[in-house]
Amino acid sequence: MGGVSETLAALTIDALAAKFRAGEATPSDAARDYLARIEAHDPSIRAFMTVTRDVALAQAAEADARFKAGAPRGPLDGVPIALKDLFCTRGIRTACGSKILEQFVPPYDATTYQRLRGAGAVLLGKLNMDEFAMGSSTENSAYFTTRNPWDLDRVPGGSSGGSSAAVAGALAAATLGTDTGGSIRQPAAFCGVVGLKPTYGRVSRYGMVAFASSLDQAGPFAKTVADTARVLQVIAGADSMDSTAAAVPVPDYLAALGGGVKGLRIGIPREYFIDGMDPEVEQAVRAAVEVLRALGAQTEDVSLPHTEYGLAAYYLIGPAEASSNLARYDGVKYGLRVSGRDLVEMSSKTRAAGFGREVKRRIMLGTYALSAGYYDAYYGQAQRVRTLVARDFKAAFGRVDAIVAPTTPGVAFRIGEKEDPIQMYLNDVFTIPVSLAGLPGISVPAGFTRQGLPIGLQVIGRAYDEAAVLRVAHAYEQATDWHTRKPALEAVSR
Amino acid sequence: MSADGAKQSDGKAGAGDTGYETVIGLEVHAHLLTRTKMFCGCATAFGAPPNTQTCPVCQGMPGSLPVINRRAVEFGIRAALAIGCRVNLQNRFARKHYYYPDMPKNYQISQYEEPLAEHGALEIVLGGVTRSIGVERLHLEEDVGKLLHEGELATARSSQVDYNRAGVPLMEIVSRPDLRSPEEATAYLRALRAIVVFLGVCDGNMEEGSLRCDANISLRERGATKLGTKVEIKNMNSFRNVQHALEYEVRRQARALETGERIVQETRLWDPEHLRTVSMRSKEFAHDYRYFPEPDLPPLDLPAPWVEEIRAGQPELPAARRRRFVEAHGLTAHEAELLCQGRGLADYFEAAVRAHPRPKAVVNWVLNELLRELPGDDDRAIAACPIPPASLGGLLALIEDGTISGKIAKDVFEKMYRSGEDARTIVAREGLTQVVDTGALGAVVDQVLAAHPQVIEDWRGGKKAALGFLVGQVMKSTQGKANPALVNRLLGEKLPKL
């Protein structure tokens, strides 16, 4: 088969929808093109846990009918998408990268998937991830490691590595991932695509297998900022099934894109340029700041003094909540069950066999942090640090409208390169503080290293001000052509 | 005798003459009568086929999230206000962790550091003495499911779980350690039950587990201020069990202290078959519940006007009603107490009084005859009573106007209970109307006098009991239909003339 440029998979959501409306292509054509690309390229990229071919073709046929009847549901109708394998999908296995959920077929749909289906999107499948979203490379998936389409020997980032690799490899028009400490933004940066973590509370978490409840947030990956805005438009907003999804009005994100950055105040946090970061990343981000300045933005240095404590606080709060959220996997109700002489043995054998190393490490960390006598020193202290980190951002946003920074200190590393968990954790040092503060952040392509690996620019906004984040990212994207470069993929002959 | 003083009822000497003082605190769990569960929309009805009232939320499915039931919060506030608690406008839920297969998430959503309400008190009356028992806190939580084991838990070949009850709203009310005897403990439990039942927030049914009670009990030297080592008692599913379990535990602990044994801080289960408590687990193996604020639920921020609205809409509470029954209807404190165990009985009494405004007669019939026939005094039993209050009033009116005697009335009452018919219908059909015709009765009296000359002699000789015998004979001849007062009057007129 030919390259991506000859298929509907090359198109942005906007362009694809235009073709559907003009009758030049049907949703079924698009689904078939994407399924063909998955068949050709996923054996080498390995982004998909499950390809829902029949579901996709059936849903596409329904979309065909709507277009034929002149009544499409909107800009996402017939658009092929895929979901990180922790969004519950009724009747479709949702394994969350874990052996403990290998057999888990949810009886219900996540709110985000319901909303995408309501808008007519077509489900291509479920995407690989680090087990329970704990990791930065998909190497913690209990099944396999996803490859970076820009260099198949390198990781796609994580935990939503399947979601970023699928968009980078044009195996889906857009995908959903989740971000707890950087799990959308870091893989987006590593794969040279756009990835948005919305404000905590902007998007419903109902039906999203929980890792750390006070941090988890769903968000889109797409080829462009405009496509990202279109997906956010559909999934954002209050949900009667999630009390933490806030009833804050959802603006028209696409309309907000056009504003430009002229006169906008943009802060550059000095703590986000650290010793040991990849000089090519620093260079690219500083160059991006110049682009924004040339577009009329007023840039100024800001300080986020508690940045260095973010990582430590995160690795107490995240594991503490995870130890609680993962307590339910005991072999009694669903998923894996390893028999034992009694209930206690059944539970502990099930958990011993079903959870991987990193998950067990965090359950133990978190259990310890919540224990009587240690709670205040660990969990309590981490929450106080979290407050200070949030206060830093609040102070900075008193002076600027958005903050730009590198998404990650480095670029995609080789599979197997980072064996020390602490080295792995350091990947998220620039994304974690934003998660702790609950703020929206986007990663947008901002160049390539000499080796040809993508670099991400992070744009951070005020709570619920995704519009500003998208606007800055869009202005930058339109002034550069990084997003137009595609990885050279060779089809696997079967 | 060692500690049988638990049977004493002066409310102070729980540990009898041993020199120990009994200290008891109760933790009461009440199922709230909401239509749906605490954190999801599933039904709460008791007795449905297993797992038919469940959804992803109450089954703890991956990705599911709780949403607070507003009605449950309202019911909690209602109860809190009734026991004088301060409602915390800012309160929040917390996760309590322990592994047990009846708990779908292996944590229970409860309240910990910031409960719904705190610092209340409940009045109990025992032996005519009123005491105020402190209530430490009232909080909301979700119930767990039910396990069915094949054999003992530890060795069960198989176990099955029914999650219908998982997520049913519970209100936990924790007393201060202010109770000084098993009698006080049961009195407190009765008073609390009456309040939640009056409020309509709980059906108060202990057998079905809608109202459950755990006790913390310790003994200490009389006069000591420091509390002794406490033992927690569980599995007491009736007032009788609470009383017996605590009496047993007072004796057990007193004996242990007398012999210099150390009381172990532990949880003990009441075994109602063998009338003893047995050790379940000691504090050494106690759970670390690892409480932390529930991140899936924002803190509750109650609007003060809502709480005031609930306060304004509170129904009359048992204490006020008891007082009114004494003051307005002239009942004794004891009668008022018995009537006000639940709202159903108190309402029944008042409705009967409206039909027949003789409260004393009504209360006698309600407490003696009605409660003897009914299977219980709870609202369900009252609601199913085949004799409506107005019918009871009608029956009493027939006694008062002399249509039937009190004795006949008891037979009529039983027939009413069985058939559901009203008194007048039964009396008319069975010809039970009292004979008040002086002529007809006079003839019967003459016959009786003619038949018992010796008794008349005895009467003349001063034996007053002879008159009673003659009255009895007249009643017998009329199958009880004679008006006793009339018989007495006729005999009084005729005897001196003989």
Encoded amino acid at A275, one letter? D
Report in angstroms the alpha-carbon separations of A330 from A141, B23, B97, B163, B334. 20, 40, 13, 16, 54
Q: Is B285 on the interface with A (CB under 8 A)?
A: no
Q: How far is A157 from chain B (nearest CA, A)?
A: 23
Contacts of A205 in chain B (CB under 8 A): 63, 65
Residue A243 falls in the annotated catalytic set: no
Q: Do A108 and B56 touch (CB under 8 A)?
A: yes
Q: Is B151 on the interface with A (CB under 8 A)?
A: no
> Which residue among A213, A240, A241 sits closest to B295, beta carbon to beta carbon?
A213
Q: What is the pLDDT of residue B153?
A: 60
Q: What is the pLDDT of residue A221?
A: 98
Residue B459 sits in a domain of what CATH number? Answer: 1.10.10.410
Let me know if residue B310 belongs to a domain. Answer: no
What is the domain range of residue A261?
4-304+392-484
Same domain, B453 and B332: no
Q: What is the pLDDT of residue B180?
A: 95
The Cα A177–Cα A93 span in angstroms is: 17
Same domain, B79 and B129: yes
Q: What is the pLDDT of residue B379?
A: 77
Contacts of A88 in chain B (CB under 8 A): 61-63
Same domain, B42 and B179: yes
Give the least confident one: A208-212, A460-464, B296-300, B460-464: B460-464
The Cα B202–Cα B211 span in angstroms is: 8
Same domain, B443 and B422: no
Let me know if residue B139 belongs to a domain. Answer: yes
Determine what percent of chain A is predicted with pLDDT higher than 90: 90
Give the least confident one: A73-82, A93-102, A150-159, A325-334: A325-334
Q: What is the pLDDT of residue A233?
A: 98
Tell me whether strands A217-222 and B276-282 are parallel, antiparallel or unpaired: unpaired
Chain B residue nearest residue A205, CA to CA:
B63
Q: How far is B68 from chain A (nearest CA, A)?
A: 8
pLDDT in tens, chain B (498 residues): 333 333 334 434 445 556 899 999 999 999 999 999 999 999 998 888 999 999 999 999 999 999 999 999 999 999 999 999 999 999 999 999 998 888 999 999 999 999 999 999 999 988 878 899 999 999 999 999 988 877 666 666 677 889 999 999 999 999 999 999 999 999 999 999 999 999 999 999 888 889 999 999 999 988 888 888 999 999 898 999 999 999 999 999 999 998 988 888 889 999 988 899 998 866 555 678 999 999 999 999 999 999 999 999 998 888 889 899 999 999 998 899 889 887 889 999 999 999 999 999 999 999 988 888 888 777 778 888 999 999 999 899 888 887 888 888 888 899 999 988 888 888 878 777 776 677 778 888 888 888 888 888 888 888 888 888 988 888 888 887 787 778 888 888 888 887
Contacts of B146 (CB under 8 A, 6+ apart): B102, B161, B162, B164, B165
> Which residue among A244, A320, A323 sits closest to B298, beta carbon to beta carbon?
A244
Same domain, B379 and B422: yes
Strand order in the sheet with B211-221: B86-87, B117-126, B129-142, B169-175, B20-31, B211-221, B231-234, B266-271, B276-282
Let me know if residue A237 belongs to a domain. Answer: yes
ipTM above 0.90, yes or no: yes
Same domain, B205 and B234: yes
Same domain, B375 and B265: no
Same domain, B209 and B337: no
Residue A163 falls in the annotated catalytic set: no
Q: Are B26 and B13 in contact (CB under 8 A)?
A: no
Q: What is the pLDDT of residue B319?
A: 87
Q: Do B65 and A372 touch (CB under 8 A)?
A: no
Let me know if residue B463 belongs to a domain. Answer: yes
Q: What is the pLDDT of residue B477?
A: 84
Residue A136 falls in the annotated catalytic set: no
How many domains does one find in chain B? 3
Let me know if residue A356 belongs to a domain. Answer: no
Contacts of A344 in chain B (CB under 8 A): 99
Q: Is A210 on the interface with B (CB under 8 A)?
A: yes
Q: Is B60 on the interface with A (CB under 8 A)?
A: yes
Q: Is A155 on the interface with B (CB under 8 A)?
A: no
Size of interface A-B (CB pairs under 8 A): 107
pLDDT band for position A422 (50/70/90)? confident
Question: Which residue among B305, B340, B360 closes a domain?
Answer: B305
Let me know if residue B388 belongs to a domain. Answer: yes
Q: Do B62 and A333 touch (CB under 8 A)?
A: no
Same domain, B264 and B386: no
Q: How far is A206 from chain B (nearest CA, A)?
A: 6
Number of Cα atoms under 13 Å in the Cβ half of residue A431: 36
Q: Do B99 and A208 touch (CB under 8 A)?
A: no
Q: Which ranges constitute the DSSP H helices of B270-317? A: 304-312
Same domain, B263 and B364: no
What is the domain range of residue B237?
4-305
Q: Is B420 on the interface with A (CB under 8 A)?
A: no
Same domain, B98 and B244: yes
Let me know if residue A315 belongs to a domain. Answer: no
Let me know if residue A170 belongs to a domain. Answer: yes
Q: What is the pLDDT of residue B16?
A: 53
Determine what percent of chain A is predicted with pLDDT higher than 70: 98
Q: Which of A98, A164, A183, A435 is catalytic?
A: A183
Same domain, B297 and B191: yes
Residue A87 sits in a domain of what CATH number? Answer: 3.90.1300.10
How many domains does one find in chain A? 1
Q: Is A288 on the interface with B (CB under 8 A)?
A: no
Mean pLDDT of A454-466: 98
Q: Which of A28, A84, A136, A160 is catalytic?
A: A84
The Cα A140–Cα A142 span in angstroms is: 6
Residue entry with tokens 């990268």: A97
Q: How far is B144 from chain A (nearest CA, A)?
A: 13
The Cα A57–Cα A167 span in angstroms is: 19
Let me know if residue B311 belongs to a domain. Answer: no
Q: What is the pLDDT of residue B464?
A: 80
